[in-house]
Structure 1
């Protein structure tokens, strides 16, 4: 790969938004720079001090045992712990048994409420069931469920039993589920008879049965019967409710002690080629990293209601629906379904009804709401909100400003950059710092991130480069399951540092402006253009709701830009619209960035986590193989 996006114009910069004075009185971190400097000066002392507040069966010998030759990092080496002891036991012993932990809202609007005590009770019952089945520490369990309380409890019960959960998103096909089970070789599958989306029934059990036919490691399947409580099951299939009933009197299940090397979960993420990568995270480091980032980035307090729109089937849901918030004793809102069903006000309605205080969304979802119109958020009382978040891809300044405006014009937006591999936020604002629309600001304390060239040298302000991390962090992944060589490549692309595969620029104030994947770069007449920059310019046109751009081969220029554009609903499709959009990009970025082609469309291929799959657009445009599309939303 060459250096990423070296473009004629930097991403939009503006005067920073200063924090609301009322916010400053509630902060966990009031002086970012002092804490950051201390964390970098002595990272082991910094992270060790945070870890002191947790329960350990055995304290660590060393906070970090790092081998720079093999890239192995053992956080809290020598310790014994279990993440669920600090998610459940600790809170219950502190008197929070009756505090609401989870509010689950189904696609049809029905709700179920779970206290910390109820989650503990059902977790214990499921753990006794796992033990009765003969499952032992280190065995893998595949969870193929929609975002429901059973999904969360299954994850927690696996963790408490020392089992390794592999959550597979419930929208995947049988082939995608099968490939993940073939790789992880689970002994148990947990699924449901169906899921619901936009009022339609999705036959989940049929998909699971098709996928598991060739999985020789699989011994049993637990089925949640959502639609029909009396549904007859096949041989080897056990109803979830019968297990809970059977072990109603089994009592407390002591959490299994895990070392720094014992996996907590495997989560599969797709690359541009080859099979999905099984990213492995372990108990103690992941626990400390997700706890602290949740607490500091979202400024979590005891009375917060935390609403993350992700699915627990993705890393955002793992870290910031299940583990991070529950480690902090928060109340989590979990919503099955889509943001525009039964109408486009669904998420805003949930914010009003449950008095949500922290709302964590995606740029894609925000742009969808922009397209639907601000009349929807204006219908609801959003005064309970005090903090917003964005995740999944770079957020363009216009979407950032719209998100802030429709929620009252005063709320800080935490634009978080991180990955499945990092496990936790890496570059993100903290509440109370000045904010620039479209900027993820600076690294989280304890994280040494940089923007560098191919030689690993820091680039000058305003220049694009590769995003790297120079030293280990607690929630870093430990390996790629069954493929340690693939893990090492992350550290050998630029020797000695973690190579994220993303590109960014830093402005003259040191703020990070994320551009996108380094393979999301177009080279036009020797100029390298980041797709995010061109797309941001396109979306800033008043008629454009969403956009994606690709490079097409050109004999003269090397590549030319083709843009795929979704219009806003109120946009007038005039004969000269494409020309006006092209001219707008010229004015925003310069002539070199003007698309040669614009195709107006109703659909863009994207992952379930909201990232636009530009490589799929390019493959279809050029008639090339599409590679792994198992994470494609539609």
Structure 2
């Protein structure tokens, strides 16, 4: 293990100050962990008591990791628990459920009562269009109120929804529609992104020509342009307005499929990961409960894209299941100025924010003077997930942003359906860069390549050793692929395909994808170890490290760095020296490319596979439809070309 990684995992705990501690959550967490220690089933039975069941379940869990069922025999409805029960309660019916802001600055707010009314009538509209229980509805929307109403309208009538990222190309959209075979697609005419229109309806019209399952398209007039509708298309507002009453609430068995979401499909066709009704509801409620620590007056901004699984986990299902007020923002966080993030927090009195680590790196790059102009006294939590959080950015947010706030860094995957390891909000101490300890109801191990558990402090493969409710149930229409992908390498365990270390405090450290572990002259090292060192340089704002082919060593690490200030040549030299000083000469960076920016998804994830492609071939070879700003690819290509001349 490298000295740098050893220093990280050996670092002391950062005590949570009394200001941020919650006696209520401390007591609850102690009880929940005690239940977990008795058995995870005892804990999940406690979670199940938080919901309104139509029929109580018979058994908490049965089966094994590759074939399990939770809350067997129970009948429940997600929309009922996320929307209706709050709308029926006099204490919460007039509480805001959703506060939405569009990139141009338009704002719309819905109380739980108003949300329930629109969800119920949209559900009736879907029924009018022939959608039945078990049918698939595709949601191809930007971050809008209609994303909330559509998802819960599907939940209300037992339709299976699938989320399509609003930045998908025609081909990426078509491939997912062909696999999901939706009966109806709900789409916006367009969305706003960086002051430009993203023409969603035009893209869908081209993509659906080869998808005969799509009978009708519901069009949300997001831009107010009054786009002329084609045959088979219906206006969202007109459809909702003509429904005299809500659709009946479907009684769903807890293990019925609720929705499917596709993985990126960079190496083969995308996998449609299937999540269940009762499992997703229970797991996401618990996820938000522990990761975010909801309080009565919280305003929770989930700064994620509706096409990212984080959005239904934290906002549409988990957030509303906790009765929270959710802020939803349509556009880019630096449009029209770098102050947009702070302005949204201030204008809507945001108390808690969820974002990808890249958002925090962006705010850090914008400079501390913005934090002085925008002190954000209401903000009391930042939580991150979706990508590795470097210790330098953690420290900046924990000490500078809003005067210093707790940073709950969490880890999960599309397949896990929730984040499952993190420091519990208001309870646990933290470590800069770790993802805490597994939440109650979850269990993991780090194993070697033979599947044997390794001791604390040792690197290995992260596996899950016990089923939990939000864990994926199958791959849509391809269960053999599900079994082969996640259970063939380590029989009896669920393979995350990530490398990790569990330290002596029980904290989990994610080192990145197993395929981001590179062999340099027969030495194995995670690119994330190198990346942590590069990111620690005071003049490096953002860095990504990938492995690229080398004729002598097989593979060498290459770093892409964004420098805020200072002499680039000097920074490059210092970065190069820092890596060899910490890791040894075998890990020396083969290339360092100074670039103005790096390609990211709309949700802020660094697209390392594109960096690998450009460094290796001079151009991207994979799907680029989810890139937030395509000029970033050109910037990276220019940096590579300049370094190679």
Q: TM-score with structure 2 length normalisation?
A: 0.93
**2:395 pairs with 1:395:** no
Whether the 8 Å contact between 1:273 and 1:628 is mirrored in structure 2 is no
Out of 261-270 and 216-225, give the one that drifted further: 261-270
Partner of 1:254: 248
Structure 2 unmatched runs, 5+: 631-645
Secondary structure at the counterpart of residue 477 of structure 1: coil
Matched, 1:61 2:58: yes
RMSD: 1.8
CA deviations over 1:158-200 (Å, ceiling 9, x no partner): 1111111111011111111111000000110111111001211
Alpha-carbon shift at residue 478 of structure 1 (Å): 1.0
Contact 2:549 2:616 in 1 (8 A): no
CA distance in 2, matches of 1:226, 1:50: 38
Whether 1:23 aligns to 2:20 is: yes
Aligned residue for 2:210, secondary structure, equals coil
TM-superposed CA distance for 1:514, in Å, is 1.0
Q: In 2 relative to 1, CA 233–324 (structure 1 residues): closer, same or farther, beyond 3 Å?
A: same
CA contact (8 A) 1:554 1:560 kept: yes
2:283, 2:469 within 8 Å by CA — same for their partners in 1? yes
Query: Scaled by the length of structure 1, what TM-score is found?
Result: 0.95
State whether structure 2 residue 610 is matched by structure 1 residue 610.
Answer: no
The answer as to whether partners of 2:2 and 2:582 remain within 8 angstroms in 1 is no
| Closer/same/farther in 2, CA of residues 519 and 130 from structure 1, 3 Å limit | same
Aligned residue runs from structure 1 range 109-508, under 5 A: 109-228=105-224, 230-247=226-243, 250-431=244-425, 432-489=427-484, 490-508=486-504
Residue 271 of structure 1 and its aligned partner are, at CA, apart by 4.1
Per the alignment, do residues 146 and 592 of structure 1 end up closer, same or farther by CA in structure 2, a change over 3 Å counting? same
* In structure 1, C-alpha distance between the alignment counterparts of 2:85 and 2:598, rounded to whole Å: 45
Aligned-residue offset at 1:109: 1.5
1:3 matched residue in structure 2: none
Separation in 2, partners of 1:453, 1:33: 32
Asked if structure 1 preserves the Cα contact closer than 8 Å seen for 2:397 and 2:404, the reply is no
**What is the rounded CA distance, in whole Å, between the counterparts of 2:453 and 2:321 in structure 1?**
36
Shift of 1:300: 0.5
Partner SS state of residue 577, structure 1: helix
Q: Deviations over 1:58-106 (max 9, x none)?
A: 11111112145xx211111111111111111211222211110000000
Bigger shift: residues 38-47 or 183-192: 38-47
1:39 to 18, 29, 36: 36
Query: Is the 2:220–2:235 contact (alpha carbons within 8 Å) kept by the matching residues of 1?
Result: yes
The structure whose residues are more often helix, as a share, is 2
Find the counterpart in structure 1 of residue 588 from structure 2: 594
The CA distance in 2 between the partners of 1:175 and 1:233, in whole Å, is 22
Work out whether residues 8 and 589 of structure 1, in 8 Å CA contact, stay in contact via their aligned partners in 2: yes
Query: Whole-Å Cα distance in 2 between the matches of residues 367 and 22 of structure 1?
Result: 25
In 2, distance between residues paired with 1:117 and 1:41?
Answer: 40
Where in structure 1 do 4 or more consecutive aligned residues deviate above 6 Å? none
Q: Distance in 1 between matches of 2:226 and 2:4?
A: 63
Match of 2:554 in 1: 558
CA distance in 1, matches of 2:465, 2:493: 5
- Report deviation, 1:626: 2.9
Structure 1, unmatched stretches of 5+, are 1-5
